Amino acid sequence: MKSLKPNDLREKSVPELEQLLAEERAGLYKARRDLVFRQITDVASLKVRRHNIARLLTLIQEKKRGGDA
């Protein structure tokens, strides 16, 4: 699981960011489920996904408010 880069995400539109957000949330759900059933041992990927979700939510809010910061 790779961390999403903010500079690459800033170039995307709000619908594209929301699509990425939905994919990350689905991936987090699947990873958590796999962890419960002991199908994965990489718990660091959960942290990366949570950070990606937070990053996406922040950028979506910035774009909706009209801020470029």
Q: Mean pLDDT of residues grouped by 10 in the chain (69 residues)?
A: 84 95 96 90 91 96 81
Domain assignment of residue 11, given as a range = 6-64
CA 63 – CA 33 distance, rounded (Å): 32
Q: Within a domain: residue 15?
A: yes
Instruction: Quote the pLDDT of residue 17.
Output: 96
Contact status, residue 49 vs residue 27, Cβ threshold 8 Å: yes
Q: Within a domain: residue 37?
A: yes
CA 67 – CA 40 distance, rounded (Å): 39
How many whole angstroms from its chain centre is CA 25?
A: 7
How many whole angstroms from its chain centre is CA 16?
A: 12
Q: Within a domain: residue 56?
A: yes
Instruction: Quote the pLDDT of residue 1.
Output: 65
Q: Within a domain: residue 60?
A: yes
Residue 11's φ and ψ, nearest 5 degrees, are: -80, -15
Q: Within a domain: residue 1?
A: no
Instruction: Quote the pLDDT of residue 68.
Output: 60
Q: What is the pTM of this model?
A: 0.86
Q: Within a domain: residue 34?
A: yes
Count: domains in the chain = 1
